[in-house]
Amino acid sequence: MHNTFELQDAKGNNHQYIVIPHGWDDGLDVVDALLDIGLGPVAELFYAQAMQSAKQTMPNGEASIDTTMMLKNFDRKEAVKSIRDGLKSSGGMRKIAPLILKNTHRDGEPLTGVQLMTVFPQNWGELRAAMLKIMEINGFFALLAG
């Protein structure tokens, strides 16, 4: 099963992504890396709120997420510091980005090696958006939240 999405780069150009979901070994490598950087508790908070909001729907049938309640007891500053420290101590983006982007193609080219080094410098917003979408497609947030 392939998943596709489109993102804009820093110059406003659109790029087509194709994601082949991670297999068992690759998926566990990503989850281990995400746990190393401390994303488990953060994912749990957001996933729990999303699940709760799915139960409470508005009259038009759309899910409603109360971000005020979700963030009431969430220490954002401490969470960001903890994740940043965990990311640094676990090898940083140099380690995690290739793990997450594995099995992903951008405009028909696999995002490995040279492609990673040429596509994303000065285009970090697209990298961030791609990584989040790939993590969503693979269900990593749901697993981390468990």
Query: Which tens digit of pLDDT belongs to each residue from 130-139?
Result: 998 998 899 8
pLDDT mean over 18-46? 78
Q: Indicate the domain borders of the chain.
A: 3-55+67-144
Q: What is the CA radius of gyration of the chain?
A: 17
pLDDT value for 51: 58
Query: What percent of the chain has a predicted confidence (pLDDT) above 90?
Result: 33
pLDDT at 16 exceeding the cut of 90: yes
3-state SS, residue 1: coil
Amino acid at position 111, single letter: L
How much is the mean pLDDT over the chain? Answer: 77
HSE, CB side, 13 Å, CA atoms: give it for residue 13: 7
Q: Is the pTM of this model over 0.85?
A: no
Q: Evaluate whether 15 touches 8 at the Cβ level (below 8 Å).
A: yes
Cα–Cα distance list, 112 to 49, 75, 89, 106, 126 (Å):
34, 36, 23, 10, 16
Q: What are phi and psi of 2, to 5 degrees?
A: -110, 145
Query: Which tens digit of pLDDT belongs to each residue from 36-69?
Result: 776 655 555 555 655 565 555 555 555 555 556 5
Q: Which residue would you say has higher pLDDT here, 141 or 15? A: 15
8 bridge partner residues: 14
Q: Which residue would you say has higher pLDDT here, 95 or 134? A: 134
